[in-house]
Chains A and B, each alone.
Chain A
Amino acid sequence: MPERESTPRQAVISLRGATATLGARPVLRGVDLTVHRGEVVALLGANGSGKSTAVRSVIGQVPLTGGSVELFGTELRRFRRWGRIGYVPQRTTAAGGVPATIREVVASGRLSRTGLRWPGKADRAAVDRAIALVGLADRAKDSVSALSGGQHQRVLIARALASEPELLIMDEPMAGVDLASQEILASTLREQVALGTSVLLVLHELGPLEPLIDRAVVLRDGCVTHDGPPPEALGQHALPGHDHVHPHAAAEPVRTGLLT
Protein backbone atom coordinates (compact mmCIF):
# COMPACT_ATOMS: atom_id res chain seq x y z
CA MET A 1 0.00 0.00 0.00
CA PRO A 2 1.80 3.12 -1.21
CA GLU A 3 0.19 5.58 1.21
CA ARG A 4 1.60 3.61 4.12
CA GLU A 5 5.09 3.51 2.68
CA SER A 6 5.29 7.29 2.90
CA THR A 7 5.04 6.99 6.70
CA PRO A 8 6.93 3.79 7.39
CA ARG A 9 5.90 2.09 10.61
CA GLN A 10 7.39 -1.05 12.02
CA ALA A 11 5.53 -4.18 11.01
CA VAL A 12 4.75 -6.34 14.03
CA ILE A 13 3.41 -9.11 11.81
CA SER A 14 4.61 -9.65 8.28
CA LEU A 15 3.29 -12.69 6.43
CA ARG A 16 4.49 -12.83 2.82
CA GLY A 17 3.40 -15.18 0.08
CA ALA A 18 2.24 -17.74 2.61
CA THR A 19 1.10 -21.11 1.29
CA ALA A 20 -0.10 -23.99 3.44
CA THR A 21 -1.93 -27.25 2.94
CA LEU A 22 -4.12 -29.39 5.15
CA GLY A 23 -3.62 -32.92 3.92
CA ALA A 24 -3.63 -32.47 0.14
CA ARG A 25 -5.92 -29.45 0.12
CA PRO A 26 -4.29 -26.03 -0.31
CA VAL A 27 -5.63 -23.78 2.46
CA LEU A 28 -3.43 -20.72 1.92
CA ARG A 29 -2.45 -19.86 -1.63
CA GLY A 30 -0.05 -16.94 -1.34
CA VAL A 31 -1.37 -14.77 1.48
CA ASP A 32 0.22 -11.42 2.31
CA LEU A 33 -0.73 -9.97 5.65
CA THR A 34 0.94 -7.12 7.48
CA VAL A 35 0.04 -5.58 10.81
CA HIS A 36 1.85 -2.37 11.74
CA ARG A 37 2.55 -1.16 15.24
CA GLY A 38 -0.59 0.20 16.85
CA GLU A 39 -2.84 -1.07 14.09
CA VAL A 40 -6.03 -3.13 14.56
CA VAL A 41 -6.50 -5.52 11.67
CA ALA A 42 -9.51 -7.79 11.23
CA LEU A 43 -9.17 -10.95 9.20
CA LEU A 44 -12.53 -11.77 7.68
CA GLY A 45 -13.82 -14.58 5.55
CA ALA A 46 -16.22 -17.48 5.41
CA ASN A 47 -15.68 -20.80 7.17
CA GLY A 48 -12.92 -22.63 5.34
CA SER A 49 -11.51 -19.49 3.73
CA GLY A 50 -8.22 -20.03 5.58
CA LYS A 51 -8.40 -17.21 8.12
CA SER A 52 -7.75 -19.43 11.15
CA THR A 53 -4.94 -21.19 9.32
CA ALA A 54 -3.40 -17.84 8.40
CA VAL A 55 -3.43 -16.69 12.02
CA ARG A 56 -2.11 -19.97 13.33
CA SER A 57 0.71 -19.94 10.78
CA VAL A 58 1.72 -16.49 12.05
CA ILE A 59 2.40 -17.97 15.49
CA GLY A 60 4.02 -21.11 14.12
CA GLN A 61 1.19 -23.53 14.86
CA VAL A 62 0.64 -24.40 11.18
CA PRO A 63 3.76 -25.09 9.12
CA LEU A 64 4.00 -23.08 5.92
CA THR A 65 4.86 -24.84 2.67
CA GLY A 66 6.06 -21.55 1.19
CA GLY A 67 6.48 -17.88 2.02
CA SER A 68 7.76 -16.30 5.20
CA VAL A 69 6.63 -14.98 8.59
CA GLU A 70 8.28 -12.24 10.59
CA LEU A 71 7.24 -11.15 14.09
CA PHE A 72 8.57 -7.76 15.26
CA GLY A 73 11.05 -7.89 12.38
CA THR A 74 12.44 -11.26 13.46
CA GLU A 75 12.05 -14.39 11.40
CA LEU A 76 9.54 -16.70 13.11
CA ARG A 77 12.13 -19.48 13.43
CA ARG A 78 14.39 -17.20 15.46
CA PHE A 79 11.63 -15.45 17.40
CA ARG A 80 11.86 -16.13 21.15
CA ARG A 81 10.25 -13.22 22.94
CA TRP A 82 6.77 -14.74 23.15
CA GLY A 83 5.84 -12.51 26.08
CA ARG A 84 5.35 -9.71 23.53
CA ILE A 85 2.44 -11.64 22.04
CA GLY A 86 -0.89 -12.42 23.67
CA TYR A 87 -2.68 -15.26 21.93
CA VAL A 88 -6.39 -16.04 22.29
CA PRO A 89 -7.06 -19.39 20.63
CA GLN A 90 -10.42 -20.36 19.22
CA ARG A 91 -11.95 -22.22 22.15
CA THR A 92 -15.35 -22.66 23.63
CA THR A 93 -14.03 -23.41 27.09
CA ALA A 94 -11.13 -22.53 29.35
CA ALA A 95 -11.62 -25.67 31.45
CA GLY A 96 -9.40 -28.76 31.50
CA GLY A 97 -9.90 -32.19 33.05
CA VAL A 98 -9.26 -30.92 36.59
CA PRO A 99 -10.92 -27.97 38.35
CA ALA A 100 -9.00 -24.71 38.07
CA THR A 101 -9.81 -21.19 39.21
CA ILE A 102 -9.95 -18.17 36.93
CA ARG A 103 -6.77 -16.91 38.56
CA GLU A 104 -4.91 -20.17 37.96
CA VAL A 105 -5.82 -20.19 34.26
CA VAL A 106 -4.98 -16.50 33.79
CA ALA A 107 -1.68 -16.94 35.67
CA SER A 108 -0.58 -19.52 33.08
CA GLY A 109 -0.56 -16.63 30.58
CA ARG A 110 2.29 -15.04 32.55
CA LEU A 111 4.62 -17.97 31.82
CA SER A 112 5.62 -16.41 28.51
CA ARG A 113 7.37 -13.77 30.62
CA THR A 114 8.56 -15.91 33.54
CA GLY A 115 9.44 -19.11 31.66
CA LEU A 116 10.99 -21.52 34.15
CA ARG A 117 11.73 -18.97 36.87
CA TRP A 118 9.44 -18.40 39.85
CA PRO A 119 6.89 -15.58 39.54
CA GLY A 120 7.54 -12.45 41.59
CA LYS A 121 5.40 -9.64 42.94
CA ALA A 122 5.23 -7.86 39.57
CA ASP A 123 4.06 -11.05 37.88
CA ARG A 124 1.26 -11.58 40.39
CA ALA A 125 0.21 -7.95 40.02
CA ALA A 126 0.07 -8.34 36.23
CA VAL A 127 -2.19 -11.36 36.59
CA ASP A 128 -4.52 -9.48 38.94
CA ARG A 129 -4.62 -6.54 36.52
CA ALA A 130 -5.49 -8.81 33.60
CA ILE A 131 -8.38 -10.35 35.55
CA ALA A 132 -9.64 -6.90 36.53
CA LEU A 133 -9.44 -5.73 32.89
CA VAL A 134 -12.05 -8.26 31.80
CA GLY A 135 -14.24 -7.49 34.82
CA LEU A 136 -13.82 -10.78 36.68
CA ALA A 137 -11.87 -9.54 39.72
CA ASP A 138 -14.63 -10.54 42.14
CA ARG A 139 -14.73 -14.05 40.70
CA ALA A 140 -10.97 -14.75 40.50
CA LYS A 141 -11.23 -17.63 42.94
CA ASP A 142 -14.19 -19.28 41.21
CA SER A 143 -13.77 -22.42 39.14
CA VAL A 144 -13.73 -21.77 35.39
CA SER A 145 -16.13 -24.66 34.88
CA ALA A 146 -18.85 -22.58 36.57
CA LEU A 147 -18.66 -19.82 33.94
CA SER A 148 -20.82 -18.96 30.94
CA GLY A 149 -19.47 -19.05 27.38
CA GLY A 150 -18.84 -15.32 27.33
CA GLN A 151 -17.04 -15.47 30.67
CA HIS A 152 -14.83 -18.30 29.38
CA GLN A 153 -13.80 -16.06 26.51
CA ARG A 154 -13.05 -13.25 28.94
CA VAL A 155 -10.82 -15.62 30.94
CA LEU A 156 -8.95 -16.60 27.78
CA ILE A 157 -8.45 -12.93 26.91
CA ALA A 158 -7.26 -12.15 30.43
CA ARG A 159 -4.79 -15.03 30.08
CA ALA A 160 -3.44 -13.39 26.90
CA LEU A 161 -3.25 -10.00 28.63
CA ALA A 162 -1.37 -11.41 31.63
CA SER A 163 1.93 -11.17 29.76
CA GLU A 164 1.27 -7.47 29.04
CA PRO A 165 1.63 -8.07 25.30
CA GLU A 166 2.43 -5.52 22.60
CA LEU A 167 0.51 -7.59 20.07
CA LEU A 168 -2.76 -9.40 20.60
CA ILE A 169 -3.68 -12.23 18.23
CA MET A 170 -7.25 -13.41 18.67
CA ASP A 171 -9.04 -16.19 16.81
CA GLU A 172 -12.79 -15.50 16.78
CA PRO A 173 -12.93 -13.88 20.23
CA MET A 174 -16.63 -13.13 19.81
CA ALA A 175 -17.75 -16.65 18.90
CA GLY A 176 -20.48 -17.83 21.26
CA VAL A 177 -20.24 -14.73 23.43
CA ASP A 178 -23.42 -13.10 24.79
CA LEU A 179 -24.02 -9.41 24.13
CA ALA A 180 -23.12 -8.27 27.64
CA SER A 181 -19.73 -10.00 27.43
CA GLN A 182 -19.21 -8.68 23.89
CA GLU A 183 -19.52 -5.13 25.23
CA ILE A 184 -17.00 -5.88 27.97
CA LEU A 185 -14.60 -7.46 25.49
CA ALA A 186 -14.95 -4.51 23.13
CA SER A 187 -14.18 -2.00 25.89
CA THR A 188 -11.24 -4.10 27.13
CA LEU A 189 -9.86 -4.13 23.61
CA ARG A 190 -10.47 -0.39 23.22
CA GLU A 191 -8.36 0.28 26.33
CA GLN A 192 -5.57 -1.94 25.05
CA VAL A 193 -5.56 -0.25 21.65
CA ALA A 194 -5.50 3.17 23.32
CA LEU A 195 -2.34 2.02 25.13
CA GLY A 196 -0.74 1.25 21.78
CA THR A 197 -1.28 -2.51 21.54
CA SER A 198 -1.43 -3.88 17.99
CA VAL A 199 -4.21 -6.36 17.29
CA LEU A 200 -4.85 -9.04 14.71
CA LEU A 201 -8.22 -10.67 15.07
CA VAL A 202 -10.13 -13.26 13.13
CA LEU A 203 -13.79 -12.34 12.95
CA HIS A 204 -16.83 -13.82 11.37
CA GLU A 205 -18.54 -10.44 11.32
CA LEU A 206 -17.42 -7.01 12.47
CA GLY A 207 -20.08 -6.58 15.17
CA PRO A 208 -19.39 -4.35 18.18
CA LEU A 209 -15.66 -4.21 17.38
CA GLU A 210 -16.25 -2.38 14.10
CA PRO A 211 -15.33 1.13 15.33
CA LEU A 212 -11.94 -0.16 16.55
CA ILE A 213 -10.83 -1.71 13.31
CA ASP A 214 -8.33 0.21 11.16
CA ARG A 215 -8.11 -2.24 8.33
CA ALA A 216 -9.81 -5.41 7.17
CA VAL A 217 -8.27 -8.24 5.21
CA VAL A 218 -10.76 -10.54 3.56
CA LEU A 219 -9.79 -14.07 2.62
CA ARG A 220 -11.55 -16.30 0.14
CA ASP A 221 -10.37 -19.79 -0.72
CA GLY A 222 -6.92 -19.05 0.70
CA CYS A 223 -6.41 -15.82 -1.23
CA VAL A 224 -6.67 -12.19 -0.11
CA THR A 225 -9.60 -10.56 -1.91
CA HIS A 226 -9.66 -7.29 0.02
CA ASP A 227 -7.10 -5.35 2.04
CA GLY A 228 -8.17 -1.89 3.11
CA PRO A 229 -10.80 -0.09 5.13
CA PRO A 230 -13.38 -2.39 6.69
CA PRO A 231 -16.30 -3.09 4.37
CA GLU A 232 -18.70 -0.39 5.53
CA ALA A 233 -22.24 -0.88 6.75
CA LEU A 234 -22.67 -3.96 4.68
CA GLY A 235 -22.40 -6.30 7.60
CA GLN A 236 -22.51 -9.94 6.76
CA HIS A 237 -23.54 -9.34 3.17
CA ALA A 238 -20.12 -7.99 2.31
CA LEU A 239 -18.43 -11.21 3.22
CA PRO A 240 -17.69 -13.80 0.61
CA GLY A 241 -19.06 -16.50 2.88
CA HIS A 242 -22.45 -14.97 2.57
CA ASP A 243 -23.13 -16.50 -0.79
CA HIS A 244 -25.85 -14.61 -2.53
CA VAL A 245 -26.12 -15.43 -6.15
CA HIS A 246 -26.34 -12.10 -7.88
CA PRO A 247 -27.53 -12.40 -11.44
CA HIS A 248 -25.15 -9.68 -12.65
CA ALA A 249 -22.12 -11.13 -10.95
CA ALA A 250 -21.38 -14.07 -13.19
CA ALA A 251 -17.64 -14.05 -12.73
CA GLU A 252 -17.06 -16.90 -15.03
CA PRO A 253 -18.93 -17.44 -18.28
CA VAL A 254 -20.70 -20.75 -18.52
CA ARG A 255 -18.52 -23.09 -20.50
CA THR A 256 -20.58 -25.32 -22.66
CA GLY A 257 -17.75 -26.46 -24.85
CA LEU A 258 -19.67 -25.40 -27.94
CA LEU A 259 -17.46 -22.42 -28.76
CA THR A 260 -14.03 -23.83 -28.04
Chain B
Amino acid sequence: MLFEFLNPPFMQRALIAAVLVGITAPAIGIYLVQRRQALMGDGIGHIAMTGVGLGFLLSTSPVWMATAVAVAGAVVMELIRWYGHTRGDLALAMLFYGGMAGGVMLINLSDTGSNANLTSYLFGSLATVSESDVVAICVLAAFVVLVTVGLRRQLFAVSQDEEFARVSGLPVRVLNLLVAVTAAVTVTVAMRVVGLLLVSALMVVPVAAAQQITKSFKVTFVLSVVIGTAVTLTGTVTSYYQDVPPGATIVLLAIAVFVALTALAAPLARRRARASEAKGAECTLEVPPARRGADDVRV
Protein backbone atom coordinates (compact mmCIF):
# COMPACT_ATOMS: atom_id res chain seq x y z
CA MET B 1 0.00 0.00 0.00
CA LEU B 2 1.24 3.43 -0.99
CA PHE B 3 0.44 5.22 2.27
CA GLU B 4 1.40 2.35 4.54
CA PHE B 5 3.42 4.75 6.71
CA LEU B 6 0.12 6.29 7.87
CA ASN B 7 -0.96 3.14 9.68
CA PRO B 8 1.15 2.92 12.83
CA PRO B 9 -0.23 5.33 15.48
CA PHE B 10 3.27 6.54 16.36
CA MET B 11 3.74 7.60 12.72
CA GLN B 12 0.43 9.48 12.75
CA ARG B 13 1.60 11.37 15.82
CA ALA B 14 5.03 11.97 14.30
CA LEU B 15 3.51 13.30 11.06
CA ILE B 16 1.21 15.71 12.90
CA ALA B 17 4.20 16.97 14.86
CA ALA B 18 6.26 17.21 11.65
CA VAL B 19 3.67 19.34 9.84
CA LEU B 20 3.37 21.70 12.79
CA VAL B 21 7.15 22.03 13.01
CA GLY B 22 7.38 22.67 9.28
CA ILE B 23 4.89 25.53 9.62
CA THR B 24 6.00 27.13 12.87
CA ALA B 25 9.78 27.03 12.64
CA PRO B 26 10.10 29.12 9.43
CA ALA B 27 7.15 31.32 10.50
CA ILE B 28 9.07 32.68 13.50
CA GLY B 29 12.46 32.08 11.91
CA ILE B 30 11.78 34.67 9.20
CA TYR B 31 11.66 37.46 11.81
CA LEU B 32 14.88 36.23 13.39
CA VAL B 33 16.58 36.22 9.99
CA GLN B 34 15.14 39.66 9.22
CA ARG B 35 16.66 41.14 12.40
CA ARG B 36 19.88 39.23 11.75
CA GLN B 37 19.56 37.00 14.80
CA ALA B 38 19.58 33.77 12.84
CA LEU B 39 21.38 31.87 15.60
CA MET B 40 19.02 32.88 18.40
CA GLY B 41 17.06 29.63 17.99
CA ASP B 42 20.25 27.67 18.52
CA GLY B 43 20.87 29.42 21.83
CA ILE B 44 17.31 28.82 22.98
CA GLY B 45 17.70 25.15 22.04
CA HIS B 46 20.70 24.89 24.34
CA ILE B 47 18.83 26.52 27.20
CA ALA B 48 15.78 24.28 26.69
CA MET B 49 17.99 21.29 27.49
CA THR B 50 17.90 22.27 31.16
CA GLY B 51 14.10 22.19 30.97
CA VAL B 52 14.15 18.67 29.53
CA GLY B 53 16.49 17.62 32.36
CA LEU B 54 14.22 19.21 34.95
CA GLY B 55 11.25 17.40 33.43
CA PHE B 56 12.96 14.05 33.89
CA LEU B 57 14.19 14.86 37.40
CA LEU B 58 10.76 16.00 38.57
CA SER B 59 8.97 13.28 36.54
CA THR B 60 6.77 15.86 34.79
CA SER B 61 6.34 16.38 31.05
CA PRO B 62 9.71 17.33 29.51
CA VAL B 63 7.94 19.28 26.75
CA TRP B 64 6.16 21.65 29.15
CA MET B 65 9.23 21.97 31.39
CA ALA B 66 11.39 22.72 28.35
CA THR B 67 8.85 25.34 27.24
CA ALA B 68 8.96 27.04 30.64
CA VAL B 69 12.77 27.09 30.81
CA ALA B 70 13.19 28.11 27.15
CA VAL B 71 10.73 30.99 27.55
CA ALA B 72 12.55 32.16 30.69
CA GLY B 73 15.88 31.88 28.85
CA ALA B 74 14.56 33.82 25.86
CA VAL B 75 13.31 36.60 28.13
CA VAL B 76 16.74 36.79 29.80
CA MET B 77 18.39 36.93 26.35
CA GLU B 78 16.13 39.81 25.38
CA LEU B 79 16.94 41.62 28.64
CA ILE B 80 20.67 41.18 27.98
CA ARG B 81 20.12 42.70 24.54
CA TRP B 82 18.45 45.76 26.13
CA TYR B 83 20.82 46.44 28.96
CA GLY B 84 24.12 44.63 28.46
CA HIS B 85 25.72 46.30 25.50
CA THR B 86 29.36 45.74 26.31
CA ARG B 87 29.65 42.12 27.44
CA GLY B 88 26.37 40.89 25.98
CA ASP B 89 27.93 38.14 23.87
CA LEU B 90 29.77 36.63 26.83
CA ALA B 91 26.63 36.72 28.97
CA LEU B 92 24.80 34.85 26.20
CA ALA B 93 27.61 32.27 26.02
CA MET B 94 27.25 31.59 29.76
CA LEU B 95 23.52 31.17 29.31
CA PHE B 96 23.78 28.78 26.33
CA TYR B 97 26.48 26.49 27.64
CA GLY B 98 25.17 26.63 31.19
CA GLY B 99 21.79 25.52 29.84
CA MET B 100 23.23 22.63 27.86
CA ALA B 101 25.52 21.43 30.67
CA GLY B 102 22.73 21.77 33.22
CA GLY B 103 20.43 19.65 31.08
CA VAL B 104 22.95 16.84 30.64
CA MET B 105 23.70 16.87 34.37
CA LEU B 106 20.02 16.82 35.41
CA ILE B 107 19.16 13.95 33.06
CA ASN B 108 21.99 11.88 34.52
CA LEU B 109 20.83 12.65 38.06
CA SER B 110 17.25 11.56 37.38
CA ASP B 111 16.07 7.95 37.72
CA THR B 112 14.06 7.85 34.51
CA GLY B 113 16.46 9.66 32.22
CA SER B 114 19.09 7.76 30.26
CA ASN B 115 21.56 8.57 27.55
CA ALA B 116 19.12 7.18 25.00
CA ASN B 117 16.55 9.70 26.20
CA LEU B 118 19.12 12.45 25.98
CA THR B 119 19.92 11.55 22.39
CA SER B 120 16.24 11.53 21.42
CA TYR B 121 15.87 15.11 22.65
CA LEU B 122 19.13 16.29 21.13
CA PHE B 123 18.55 14.85 17.66
CA GLY B 124 14.82 14.08 17.55
CA SER B 125 13.05 10.77 17.44
CA LEU B 126 9.74 9.73 15.90
CA ALA B 127 8.90 6.65 17.91
CA THR B 128 8.96 8.52 21.22
CA VAL B 129 6.41 11.24 20.38
CA SER B 130 3.67 10.48 22.91
CA GLU B 131 0.00 11.43 22.76
CA SER B 132 0.44 14.10 25.42
CA ASP B 133 3.41 15.45 23.42
CA VAL B 134 1.13 15.85 20.38
CA VAL B 135 -1.43 17.75 22.45
CA ALA B 136 1.26 20.04 23.82
CA ILE B 137 2.74 20.57 20.35
CA CYS B 138 -0.70 21.45 18.91
CA VAL B 139 -1.41 24.04 21.60
CA LEU B 140 2.04 25.60 21.31
CA ALA B 141 1.95 25.63 17.50
CA ALA B 142 -1.42 27.42 17.56
CA PHE B 143 0.15 30.14 19.69
CA VAL B 144 3.10 30.51 17.30
CA VAL B 145 0.86 30.77 14.22
CA LEU B 146 -1.42 33.27 15.92
CA VAL B 147 1.50 35.55 16.80
CA THR B 148 3.51 35.27 13.58
CA VAL B 149 0.54 35.70 11.24
CA GLY B 150 -1.72 37.94 13.32
CA LEU B 151 0.99 40.44 14.18
CA ARG B 152 2.94 40.16 10.94
CA ARG B 153 2.79 43.88 10.11
CA GLN B 154 4.00 44.93 13.54
CA LEU B 155 6.68 42.24 13.75
CA PHE B 156 7.85 43.13 10.23
CA ALA B 157 8.24 46.79 11.21
CA VAL B 158 10.09 46.02 14.43
CA SER B 159 12.41 43.55 12.74
CA GLN B 160 13.04 45.82 9.75
CA ASP B 161 13.93 49.02 11.63
CA GLU B 162 13.62 49.00 15.40
CA GLU B 163 14.22 52.71 15.91
CA PHE B 164 11.61 53.66 13.34
CA ALA B 165 9.14 51.29 15.00
CA ARG B 166 9.73 53.00 18.34
CA VAL B 167 9.12 56.42 16.77
CA SER B 168 5.93 54.99 15.26
CA GLY B 169 4.71 54.46 18.81
CA LEU B 170 4.66 50.66 18.52
CA PRO B 171 5.16 48.76 21.79
CA VAL B 172 8.62 47.66 20.63
CA ARG B 173 9.75 46.07 23.90
CA VAL B 174 6.60 44.00 24.16
CA LEU B 175 6.90 42.92 20.53
CA ASN B 176 10.58 42.00 20.96
CA LEU B 177 9.72 39.93 24.01
CA LEU B 178 6.91 38.30 22.06
CA VAL B 179 9.34 37.30 19.28
CA ALA B 180 11.74 35.86 21.86
CA VAL B 181 8.99 33.95 23.66
CA THR B 182 7.50 32.69 20.39
CA ALA B 183 10.93 31.50 19.24
CA ALA B 184 11.32 29.66 22.56
CA VAL B 185 7.91 28.03 22.15
CA THR B 186 8.80 26.99 18.59
CA VAL B 187 11.99 25.37 19.83
CA THR B 188 9.99 23.11 22.09
CA VAL B 189 7.45 22.40 19.34
CA ALA B 190 10.26 21.24 17.07
CA MET B 191 12.30 19.51 19.77
CA ARG B 192 10.68 16.06 19.48
CA VAL B 193 10.96 15.87 15.71
CA VAL B 194 14.28 17.50 14.75
CA GLY B 195 15.94 17.68 18.15
CA LEU B 196 17.26 20.61 20.12
CA LEU B 197 20.60 20.81 18.31
CA LEU B 198 18.98 21.06 14.87
CA VAL B 199 15.94 23.19 15.74
CA SER B 200 17.58 26.39 14.63
CA ALA B 201 18.34 24.96 11.18
CA LEU B 202 14.63 24.58 10.48
CA MET B 203 14.03 28.19 11.54
CA VAL B 204 16.73 29.55 9.25
CA VAL B 205 17.37 27.25 6.27
CA PRO B 206 13.85 27.31 4.70
CA VAL B 207 13.88 31.13 4.95
CA ALA B 208 17.36 31.33 3.44
CA ALA B 209 16.25 28.97 0.66
CA ALA B 210 13.05 30.89 -0.08
CA GLN B 211 14.72 34.28 -0.26
CA GLN B 212 17.01 33.14 -3.04
CA ILE B 213 14.14 33.54 -5.46
CA THR B 214 11.69 35.96 -3.79
CA LYS B 215 11.32 39.74 -3.86
CA SER B 216 8.74 40.35 -1.13
CA PHE B 217 8.41 39.51 2.55
CA LYS B 218 4.97 38.00 2.06
CA VAL B 219 6.06 35.55 -0.62
CA THR B 220 9.21 34.69 1.36
CA PHE B 221 7.02 33.92 4.38
CA VAL B 222 4.65 31.64 2.45
CA LEU B 223 7.38 29.90 0.48
CA SER B 224 9.54 29.21 3.53
CA VAL B 225 6.56 27.65 5.32
CA VAL B 226 5.88 25.52 2.22
CA ILE B 227 9.53 24.44 2.09
CA GLY B 228 9.55 23.78 5.85
CA THR B 229 6.45 21.59 5.68
CA ALA B 230 7.68 19.73 2.60
CA VAL B 231 11.05 18.83 4.11
CA THR B 232 9.70 17.84 7.53
CA LEU B 233 7.10 15.54 5.95
CA THR B 234 9.53 14.04 3.45
CA GLY B 235 12.18 13.64 6.13
CA THR B 236 9.78 11.95 8.53
CA VAL B 237 8.54 9.46 5.95
CA THR B 238 12.10 8.79 4.76
CA SER B 239 13.26 8.05 8.29
CA TYR B 240 10.34 5.61 8.70
CA TYR B 241 11.41 3.55 5.69
CA GLN B 242 15.16 3.92 5.81
CA ASP B 243 15.80 3.94 9.58
CA VAL B 244 17.78 7.19 9.43
CA PRO B 245 17.54 9.87 12.14
CA PRO B 246 14.62 12.20 11.27
CA GLY B 247 16.25 15.46 12.42
CA ALA B 248 19.36 15.02 10.35
CA THR B 249 17.35 13.88 7.31
CA ILE B 250 15.05 16.92 7.52
CA VAL B 251 17.90 19.40 7.86
CA LEU B 252 19.90 17.86 5.01
CA LEU B 253 16.79 17.96 2.81
CA ALA B 254 16.29 21.63 3.67
CA ILE B 255 19.89 22.40 2.75
CA ALA B 256 19.42 20.50 -0.52
CA VAL B 257 16.42 22.74 -1.30
CA PHE B 258 18.56 25.78 -0.46
CA VAL B 259 21.29 24.65 -2.86
CA ALA B 260 18.76 23.88 -5.60
CA LEU B 261 17.04 27.28 -5.28
CA THR B 262 20.39 29.09 -5.16
CA ALA B 263 21.36 27.43 -8.43
CA LEU B 264 18.01 28.45 -9.85
CA ALA B 265 18.37 32.03 -8.62
CA ALA B 266 21.24 33.08 -10.88
CA PRO B 267 19.47 32.57 -14.21
CA LEU B 268 16.29 34.04 -12.69
CA ALA B 269 18.16 37.19 -11.64
CA ARG B 270 19.66 37.51 -15.11
CA ARG B 271 16.21 37.34 -16.65
CA ARG B 272 14.91 39.98 -14.27
CA ALA B 273 17.89 42.22 -14.99
CA ARG B 274 17.21 41.95 -18.71
CA ALA B 275 13.56 42.80 -18.14
CA SER B 276 14.38 45.92 -16.12
CA GLU B 277 17.03 46.93 -18.66
CA ALA B 278 14.37 46.85 -21.33
CA LYS B 279 12.17 49.02 -19.11
CA GLY B 280 15.02 51.43 -18.41
CA ALA B 281 15.82 51.91 -22.09
CA GLU B 282 12.78 54.12 -22.51
CA CYS B 283 13.92 56.81 -20.13
CA THR B 284 17.68 57.05 -20.31
CA LEU B 285 17.49 60.51 -21.85
CA GLU B 286 16.11 62.14 -18.73
CA VAL B 287 19.47 62.66 -17.05
CA PRO B 288 21.85 64.78 -19.10
CA PRO B 289 25.14 62.93 -19.49
CA ALA B 290 27.11 65.94 -18.27
CA ARG B 291 25.56 65.53 -14.85
CA ARG B 292 26.47 61.93 -14.34
CA GLY B 293 30.00 62.64 -13.20
CA ALA B 294 28.74 64.95 -10.50
CA ASP B 295 26.56 62.21 -9.02
CA ASP B 296 29.59 60.31 -7.86
CA VAL B 297 31.60 63.23 -6.58
CA ARG B 298 29.22 64.00 -3.75
CA VAL B 299 30.22 62.65 -0.37
Contacts and interface: CB of A to CB of B under 8 A. Distances in A.
- Chain B: number of interface residues, binned into ranges: 35 or more
A111 interface: yes
17 contacts: A60-B167, A81-B169, A82-B169, A87-B164, A91-B161, A97-B35, A97-B36, A98-B34, A99-B216, A100-B156, A108-B164, A108-B168, A111-B165, A116-B151, A177-B298, A180-B291, A180-B295
B87 interface: no
Given A61-B166, A82-B168, A99 B295 contact: no
A107 B163 contact: no
Contacts of A143: 215-216
The 9 closest A-B pairs by CB, nearest first: A82-B169, A112-B168, A108-B157, A143-B215, A178-B295, A98-B34, A87-B167, A101-B216, A96-B160
A85 B167 contact: yes
Contacts of A82: 167-169
A99 B169 contact: no
A83 interface: yes
B218 interface: yes
Nearest to B219: A99
Given A98-B207, A99-B211, A104-B218, A115 B36 contact: no
A203 B54 CA distance: 57
Given A97-B34, A98-B217, A143-B215, A61 B157 contact: no
Contacts of A116: 151, 154
A96 B211 contact: no
Contact of B156 (A60, A85, A104): A104
Given A83-B169, A108-B164, A112-B168, A98 B220 contact: yes
Interface residues of A, number: 40
Interface in A153-198: 159, 163, 176-180
Contacts of A112: 167-170
B81 to A, nearest CB: 16
B90 interface: no
A156 to B, nearest CB: 8
Contacts of A80: 169
Contacts of A107: 153
A131 interface: no
B18 interface: no
Contacts of A81: 169
A94 B154 CA distance: 16
B30 interface: yes
Nearest to B32: A97
Interface in B189-223: 207, 211, 214-218, 220
Nearest to A56: B163
Interface string A117-133: 00100000000000000
B144 to A, nearest CB: 18
A108 B153 contact: yes
A50 interface: no
Interface string B23-57: 00000001001111010000000000000000000
A98 B33 contact: yes
Contacts of B156: 100, 104, 108
Contacts of A9: none
B215 A98 contact: no
A105 interface: yes
B215 A99 contact: yes
Contacts of A89: 161, 163-164, 167
A141 interface: yes
B33 A141 contact: no
Given A104-B156, A180-B295, A98 B211 contact: yes
A136 interface: no
A159 B286 CA distance: 26
Nearest to B269: A146
Given A96-B34, A108-B165, A146-B215, 10 more contacts: A85-B167, A94-B161, A98-B207, A98-B217, A101-B216, A141-B215, A178-B298, A179-B291, A180-B287, A180-B291
